[in-house]
Structure 1
Amino acid sequence: MTMDTLFSALGEYWTLILVIFALIAASAFFSGSETALTAASRARMHSLSNQGDKRAGLVSLLIERRDRLIGALLIGNNLVNILASSLTTSLFLGLFGDSGVAIATLVMTVVLVIFSEVLPKSWAISSPDRFALTVAPFVRVFVLVVGPLSSLVNFIVRGLLAIFGLSLSKEAPMLSAHEELRGAVDLLHREGSVVKADRDRLGGVLDLGELEVSDIMIHRTAMRGVNADDPPEAAVRAVLESPYTRMPLWRGSTDNIIGVVHAKDLLRALAEPNVESNNLEIVKIAQKPWFVPDTTNLKDQLAAFLRRKVHFAVVVDEYGEVQGIVTLEDIIEEIVGDISDEHDLEIQGVRQEADGSIVVDGTVPIRDLNRALDWNLPDEEATTIAGLVIHESKSIPEERQAFTFYGKRFIVMKREKNRITKLRIRPAEEADKQT
């Protein structure tokens, strides 16, 4: 067939050619709409809808019935693809005879893949929210028309899956809302959209319900208190020299806490006439102690602090024995952190050496170390770094013993009785090079 003959034949089929191009454009619309609407941010659409954007409301409405939406778009996409391929085959049969089937198959495969799949989906995924807002009014109309057919298709699909013991309607989401939020924040941090400090604060809020008071309390071995049997001058000096505004008051032993001394109450009492540090009755100015179980999660404890309008609680175990103390500030620090600069190590008990290793007190919480150094050491089985080493080694290590786990080399530097008091930590790769 000569070129003149070919153009003459194409002139006779110009209407058919326009219909084919229109079907290809419709296929691109359905493919792009499916990608954009499934990738659109539900949170952003909800926010825009609250601001009065009606198109965002349509997107939210469509996403609520995702199965109906995808079913309708797939029906429309397959319908126009099949029709476009059939008309193209008919056109090429008229132009090239029997060889037109092979030519039509080749041409339509290339055209549909490029212009009806890859191009519109790439466009849609590059800006899904904007694309979804644009196509939502048109898709809404199409879903209303084809919706009943889509529901029928979904009903048939559910019936077929039920034969194999699967139920779409009863499937629970694989991730909880907290896990989805955490995953989104971590992803945005890796992409550079969220800085480390913000990621840590958001993670701290999400972790409150998973942590217990025992995970963040000041252990009784590190607890500073006031002995009610000490001379008044010694008690006053202990309170005024302490960096804390509240201190537990004990008598006989630290397990017998009889009150909480507030520095302001002490100063107020000393300002009274005829009251001196040598005749002050510190027991009378102490507040009643508040005891909380060590298994209380931080979310409940924070709510209790705010409800009772107090900042200090004594932590006890199931037998009523004192385990430590917890303050409102301790819980707040789990959210905002206590690191002023994400590159500086300002945790108490952590020191970076010139060789790049980290010297850590055994009592340093694993969570604080992870937050400061952007590590991922597990804190499910142990709270402190010493506890982690003991848990992983299944023993009480001796001094100079070394262990490697979770990509880090842990060297026991100092041990007192059965407690690991100081460790050196460095990346396992660096430790291997030095050996």
Structure 2
Amino acid sequence: HFVPPTKKVDEMFDYFQAHNTRVAIILGEYGEVLGIVTMKDVLTFIFGEISGRMEGQEYYKEEDENSYIVPGDMRLGDFYNLTNFDFDDPVMTTIGGVAFRLFDRIPNVGDKVSYEGYEFIAREVKGLRISQVQVQKQSAEKEVSKSADDESGRPVPGLPEDESSAVENSQDTPEKQTKEDD
């Protein structure tokens, strides 16, 4: 489909509908190709940028008031506004970045780390980034029992010893632990 460069946006919209097409080539007066125009170009001109995900929109799932599953690229400010979970990080700006720093490695799906009364669980890892994290507030009772039972805790670089977190690897099964102890 070929159109002259003089067609207006509303005319192009009608043209696309009438000809059941989504692309047209714009020709100049000497038959030279000046460019192409698509239905998306027309709709973007009318309505603004169109995408499946709006700018700043974050997808999350609220398990309950103390547990959220969020995308790893969610900014800490947005996470705080959503959850009122209060923790800050001097270096990282996303929840996935905070989890990565706390794990101190690329975690496996299901790995857990505790930090300042919160538990971070790697729900989805794509390549070298944590793409989905579950963050939940721990009850005081759960924190005490976890710190008493968890022997895999190690200090997190950059944090004082008393603020260290305990990392729990989903790959450590009781069978593996007993074999290593022998």
More strand per residue: 2
* Greater RCO, 1 or 2 (C-alpha within 8 Å, sep 6+): 2
Q: Which has the larger radius of gyration?
A: 1
Q: TM-score, normalised by structure 1?
A: 0.23
Q: TM-score, normalised by structure 2?
A: 0.48
